[in-house]
Amino acid sequence: MLSQLPVLPVLLPLIGAPACALLRRPTLAWVFACLVAVLAFLCTVSLFTTTWQEGVQTYALGGWPSPWGIEYRIDLLNALVLLVVSGIGAAILLASRASVWQEIGETRRGLFYVACLLCLAGLLGIAATGDAFNLFVFLEISSLSTYALVAMGPDRRALLAAYNYLIMGTIGATFILIGIGFLYMLTGTLSMADLGERLPAMGESRTAFAAYAFIVVGVCLKLALFPLHLWLPGAYTRAPSIVTVFLAATSTKVALYVLIRFTYSVFHLEFSQLAQALDTVFIALGVIAVFAGSLVAIFEADLKRGLAYSSVAQIGFMVIGLGIGTVEGLQASLIHLFNHALMKGALFLALAAFILRVGSSNFSSLRGIGRRMPLATAAFVLAGISLIGIPGTAGFISKWYLVLAAAAQQQWILLGLILAGSLLTAVYIWRFVETAYAEPEGDSVIQRNEAPLGMLLVIVLLALLNLYFGFDSRLPVETAGGAAQALLGGDAS
Amino acid sequence: MEVLIDIVLLSLLVATAVALVMVRGLIASIMLTSVYGLLSASFFVTMGAVDVAFTEAAVGAGVSPLLLLFTVAVIGRKERAPEGGAVLVKSLLLVVVTGALLIVGTLDMPPFGSPDAPAQTHVAPYYLQQSGAEIGIPNVVTSVLASYRAYDTLGEVLVIFTAGVAVILILASSSHRGSARLRNATVPDGSPHTILQVVGKILIPFILLFAFYVQFHGEYGPGGGFQAGVIFASGVILYGLLFGLPTVCRVLPPPVMEVLAALGVLIFGLTGVMSLLNGAPFLDYSVLADDPVTAQHIGIMVIELGVGITVASVITAIYYAFANQLEPGPN
């Protein structure tokens, strides 16, 4: 069975989803979805350790070797993204019951979990595959299910948010498909490894340029990189709380992975004239995203929307790392990919618990939440501290490596901007702390009313992981370092 | 001659697209969408992609305009006042840049259909030369779709399944109660569409029969599960349009369609799992029989059946969900 390991994390939710659709009772569907997600996570952990110890794992689907067939080629980068997505996916599904039962109507709960599994399968499929067209197919699975999941939000504005996301997402997916079409026209192959060998040999062709342009714009739409982020705040705000946690912690990470994979493994832009110009663009857009996102987050009256804008800002940090263009920069970007999933997972899940108990994510209704739900609030604050990047938390590791990467290139202005951006994060997290521990208005007695146990455990676990990876950062740092080395250094000869 | 046909078809496509943007009435634009679908299907035929043309003709020209019509029937046929000039200029700019990039991308490439094009010289020759010995069926397109790249096809079937799940989730509020109501509803008699009904009664059996032909002949000629599924669903939808939703729901109840949609995917997926359990890679059909070529045949037949079942039932279920918004039964 060990030789089948690379395909199992994707296959479990992929076949689990239609099987889940046959279960008529929502509780059963939830239990089944959790089971599938946890199994997929266990397979991913096993795959991750195998890749760590033995190097790249290949798997020829249908028994046809690449480029005739579709191939999975799991390296450290794939394994890291798979680990993040499946881990967060399993944790969130386990925690989801109370929130879903409150926000989703009874007739929809069963299919809701089917859509969750489809989304998970799609994202894992993107992160695992070594074939450009197969990537697009799984992108479609994850996108379609995401639109439906966003539309399940509690009020009708969710439909509009889902519609906006659908239009933007479809343009993005179409651009990616056009890009892949150009690549096939240019090389006659769809396998990424084969593309990576054949494309640099073609020299600088206009077709390759057009292909890369389409793919970058398409992926950046999915990634919600400023100024293509307009769908994100609406979708995150209006979606059901659980869906927001899942999207914030996984889907943009997978988009970042696609951008990195195409840039370095397929196009090998590190050798190209274009790279310099592109790096500047990525850094500029990243910096604008950090400041624009953070500033809006500071003045936002609704915490869920505020955190959504904070995601735009955090994506900015990841793209800055990519734009620095060195092994260290890419490593920082990947570390932040890992850590940000933990931070936003904890933050949005704690927020889902607040919404479950209070019924709103407005700052005004969150007054005194720290007395009402002390553990969930503490977890939120801990994850918030990590988001700022205070030493002792995972967020500090991200920022530290990002600052080091900027310093190594002597980009002092950029370094200052990164630090200033982190300070802005502190402003909006502090605003929550102030509200949460403020005296409630009037003299009403606040009842202690914690989140349901299952949900609370996952919230606390995610928050503590932020602490854990702040002290023992070997897993993300070494994996990201190895992955970045393989992308930029390994095949430089 | 073929160049002439291409020129005519492409000019018509452009004209339709321009008209689509200009026209204000929603019904008219839906009809133009349908025309666009039919023209695309014809264009695919001239390019030799008959498999794709089948699907485009059924879905692009038939089913999807119909779903748009259902939507318009619910929301009204008037378009809101057109957007201001700034939005138009921005959209136009975006379209021009995208179009220019598309053209730039193709400038360096050999002309369409050139035998030296990389697309014809790298992977494609292998399929053409080897698939006869390895898979043993005449339709190479089916060999690629159902065996060499079967995993993509499984993905595509899941895309369709996801679309079905998405539509039912969004329109579901009354769907489950609605479907129960539909099953118990009495069929109205004395419909005003007598002529259409008579013609339909003659046509529909042949449409369904043709769907089965396309399904089981996909290894030898153009066709396969996707095409058969959409053709079958078109037949069912035509029946529903002519004889009313309650009637067609009695023949093919909506809950059954939902179960079949999942079953089709499972047939496909579990075929792959069988290879897995026998120690071969996922979707490696060689474990299904002793002779490798026979095994490929069996594998392709089974997964195409799964594709057909899912496609037909998802499209029917989507039709039910839309039509149910419009005529929620006699009560």
Nearest to A67 among B120, B123, B158 (CB): B123
Grouping H, G, I as helix, E, B as strand and the rest as coil, residue B138 is coil
Is it the case that residue B164 has pLDDT exceeding 60?
A: yes
Q: Measure CB to CB from residue B152 to each of A70, A186, A211 and give the nearest one.
A: A70
| Cross-chain CB nearest to B165 (options A115, A134, A137) | A115
Element (H, E) at B260: helix B254-277
Q: How many whole angstroms separate alpha carbon B136 and alpha carbon A422? A: 62
Strand partners, A58: A73
Side chain identity at A262, as an amino acid letter? F
- pLDDT, one tens digit per residue, over B289-325 is 888 889 998 999 999 999 999 999 999 999 999 988 8
Burial class of A270 by CB neighbour count within 10 A (0 to 12, 13 to 18, 19+): middle
In this predicted model, what pLDDT tens digit does every residue of A331-345 receive, in sequence order?
Answer: 999 999 999 999 999
End-to-end CA distance of chain B: 58
Q: Which of B271, B311, B285 is nearest to B158 (CA)?
A: B311
* B8 and B143 part of one domain: no
Of A419, A346, A359, nearest to A388 (Cα)? A419
Distances B265 to A31, B154, B307 between C-alpha atoms, Å = 21, 8, 7
Three-state DSSP at B128 gives helix
Query: With 60 as the cut, is the pLDDT of residue A306 above it?
Result: yes
CB contact under 8 A, B162 and A144: yes
B67 shares its domain with B151: no
Counted across chains A and B, CB pairs separated by less than 8 A come out at: 182
Residue B3 maps to a domain: yes
Domain carrying residue B71: 1-81
A323 belongs to a structural domain? yes
Strands A71-74 and A57-60: antiparallel
Asked whether residue B177 carries a pLDDT value surpassing 50, the answer given is no
Residue A437 included in any domain = yes
The pair of structure tokens assigned to A99 is 């929130």
Cross-chain residue pair B151–A105, CB shorter than 8 Å: no
**Domain assignment present for A392:** yes
pLDDT at B83: 67
Residues B71 and B144 in one domain: no
The verdict on a CB contact (< 8 Å) between B148 and A62 is yes
Q: Tell whether the torsion through CA atoms of A418, A423, A427 and A429 is positive or negative.
A: positive
DSSP conformational letter for B79: P
List the single best residue of A32, A58, A64 to mutate versus B (max B Cβ within 10 A): A64
A312 found inside a domain? yes
Q: Which of these three, B63, B81, B99, is where a domain ends?
A: B81
Q: How confident is the model at residue B178 (pLDDT cuts 50, 70, 90)?
A: very low
- Chain A positions touching B284 (Cβ under 8 A) are 62-63
Instruction: Pick the residue from chain B with its C-alpha nearest to A4.
Output: B281
Residues on chain B touching A138 (C-beta within 8 angstroms): 155
Answer yes or no: do B144 and B65 share one domain.
no
User: What is the rounded average pLDDT of the residues A28-44?
Assistant: 95
Place of tokens 């310093």: A407
Query: What's the token pair of residue A181?
Result: 């079409």
The answer to whether the Cβ–Cβ distance between A205 and B108 falls below 8 Å is yes
A-chain residues within 8 Å CB-CB of B254? none
Which residue among B61, B81, B101 closes a domain? Answer: B81
CB count within 10 Å of CB B81 equals: 7
Residue A275 has, within 13 A of its CA and on its CB side, a CA count of 16
Q: In chain A, whose CA is at the least distance from the CA of B268?
A: A15
On whether the CB atoms of residues A152 and B171 are closer than 8 A, the answer is no
- Examine the pLDDT at A491 and tell me if it is beyond 50: no
Q: Are residues B40 and B169 in the same domain?
A: no
By percentage, how much of chain A surpasses pLDDT 70?
97
Identify the helix (H) or strand (E) that includes residue B295: helix B292-326
User: Cβ contacts (< 8 Å) between A68 and chain B: which residues?
Assistant: 123, 126-127, 148
CA-wise closest residue to A355 among A156, A91, A89, A100: A100
B74 shares a domain with B151: no
Residue B134 lies inside a defined structural domain of this protein: no
The nearest CA of chain A is from the CA of B127 a distance in Å of: 8
Distance CA A27, CA A73 (A): 36
Of the candidates B122, B169, B275, the beta carbon closest to that of A108 is on: B169
Residues 6 or more apart whose CB falls under 8 angstroms from that of B175 comprise: A107, B168, B254, B320, B321, B324
Residue B169: which of A15, A138, A148 has the nearest Cβ? A148
Task: State which residue of chain B sits closest to A186, comparing Cα positions.
Answer: B118
Rounded Cα–Cα distance for residues A295 and A289 (Å) = 10
pLDDT value at position A175?
95
CB-nearest to A207 from B109, B269, B281 is B109
Q: Which of A74, A238, A216 is nearest to A155 (CA)?
A: A238
Is A332 inside any structural domain?
Answer: yes
The tokens of A167 are what? 């239009």
Q: Total structural domains in chain B?
A: 2
Asked whether the beta carbons of residue A62 and residue B124 sit closer than 8 angstroms, the reply is no
**Least CA distance to B269: which residue of chain A?**
A15
Residue A271 vs residues A40, A281, B114, B319: alpha-carbon distances, Å = 37, 17, 31, 51
Inside any domain, residue A342: yes
Residue A345 to chain B, least CA–CA distance (Å)? 25
Q: Mark yes or no for CB contact B161/A118 under 8 Å.
A: yes
Which pLDDT score is estimated for B74?
Answer: 84
A115–B169 C-beta distance less than 8 A:
yes
Instruction: Give the integer Cα–Cα distance in Å for A196 and A255.
Output: 19
Contact A18 B263 (CB under 8 A): yes
**Does B265 contact A18 at a Cβ distance shorter than 8 Å?**
yes
**Cβ contact A15–B150 (<8 Å):** no
B101 within a domain of the structure (yes/no): no
Mean confidence (pLDDT) of chain A: 90
Is residue B239 scored above 80 in pLDDT? yes
Q: Would you call A15 and B269 a contact, using CB atoms and an 8 Å cutoff?
A: yes
- Using 50, 70 and 90 to split pLDDT, how confident is the model at A448? confident
**Domain shared by B37 and B180, yes or no:** no
Kindly report which listed range (A226-230, B162-166, B230-234) carries the lowest average pLDDT score: A226-230
Is residue B194 situated within a structural domain? yes
Return the residue matching tokens 């920069």.
A329
Separation in Å, CA A242 to CA A246, A355, B101, B312: 6, 11, 39, 32
The pair of structure tokens assigned to A293 is 């996102």
Q: Is A230 left (phi over 0), alpha (psi -120 to 50) or beta?
A: alpha
Q: Which of A4, A14, A121 sits opposite B276 (nearest CB)?
A: A4
With beta carbons under 8 A apart, name residues in chain A contacting B148: 62, 64, 68-69
Contact B175 A107 (CB under 8 A): yes
B170 vs A11, A148, A210: nearest CB? A148
pTM: 0.94
Question: Which of B33, B56, B81 is where one domain is finished?
Answer: B81
Q: CA of A139: how far to CAs of B95, B158, B252, B295, in Å? A: 24, 11, 32, 31
CA B243 to chain A, closest CA, distance in angstroms equals 29
Q: Which residues of A touch B109 (CB under 8 A)?
A: 185-186, 207
The pair of structure tokens assigned to B41 is 């299907």
Is there a domain that residue A73 lies in? no
- pLDDT, tens only, B67-114: 999 988 888 877 776 667 788 888 889 889 999 999 988 888 887 778
Q: Are residues B64 and B146 both part of a single domain?
A: no
Kindly state whether residues B44 and B145 are assigned to the same domain.
Answer: no
Burial of A171 (0-12, 13-18, 19+ CB in 10 A): middle
For residue B303, give the 3-state DSSP assignment: helix
ipTM: 0.93
Whether A114 sits inside 8 A of B152 (CB atoms) is: no
Cβ–Cβ under 8 Å, residues B224 and B218: yes
In-domain check, residue A439? yes
* Range name among A272-281, A453-462, B49-58 with the lowest pLDDT average: A272-281
Q: How far apart are the first and last CA of chain A?
A: 36
Q: Is residue B278 part of a domain?
A: yes
Task: At A420, list the tokens.
Answer: 């200033």
Q: Which of A21, A114, A188 sits opposite B119 (nearest CB)?
A: A188
Domain housing A368: 274-493
Give the C-alpha separation, A33 to A118, whole Å.
10
Binning chain B into helix, strand and coil, the percentages to the nearest 5 are 80, 0, 20
> To probe the interface with B, which of A1, A59, A68 has the most B CB atoms within 10 Å?
A68
Same domain, B66 and B212: no
Assigned domain for B290 exists: yes
- B117 located within any domain: no
A102, A216, B33, B111, B167 from A199: Cα distances, Å: 51, 16, 38, 20, 40
Per DSSP, what are the bridge partners of residue A191? Answer: A131
SS (H, E, C) chain A: CHHHHHHHHHHHHHHHHHHHHCCCCHHHHHHHHHHHHHHHHHHHHHHHHHHHHHCCEEEEHHHCCCCCCCEEEECHHHHHHHHHHHHHHHHHHHHCHHHHHHHCCHHHHHHHHHHHHHHHHHHHHHHHECEHHHHHHHHHHHHHHHHHHHHCCCCCHHHHHHHHHHHHHHHHHHHHHHHHHHHHHHHCCCEHHHHHHHHHHCCCCHHHHHHHHHHHHHHHHHHCCCCCCCHHHHHHHHCCHHHHHHHHHHHHHHHHHHHHHHHHHHCCHHHCCHHHHHHHHHHHHHHHHHHHHHHHHHHCCEHHHHHHHHHHHHHHHHHHHHHHCCHHHHHHHHHHHHHHHHHHHHHHHHHHHHHHHHCCCECHHHCCHHHHCHHHHHHHHHHHHHHHCCCCCHHHHHHHHHHHHHHHCCCHHHHHHHHHHHHHHHHHHHHHHHHHCCCCCCCCCCCCCCCCHHHHHHHHHHHHHHHHHHHCCHHHHHHHHHHHHHHHHHCCC
CATH number at residue B26: 1.20.120.1200
Å from A413 to nearest chain B CA? 33
- pLDDT digits 0-9 by tens, A64-101: 988 889 999 999 999 999 999 999 999 999 999 999 99
Whether B170 is in a domain gets the answer yes
Residues of chain A contacting B163 with CB distance shorter than 8 Å: 144
Question: Which residues of chain B neighbour A213 with C-beta distances below 8 Å?
Answer: 101
Interface test with A, best of B149, B274, B311 (most A CBs within 10 A): B149
pLDDT at residue A179, rounded to an integer: 94
CB A407 within 8 A of CB A415: yes
Count of domains observed in chain A: 1
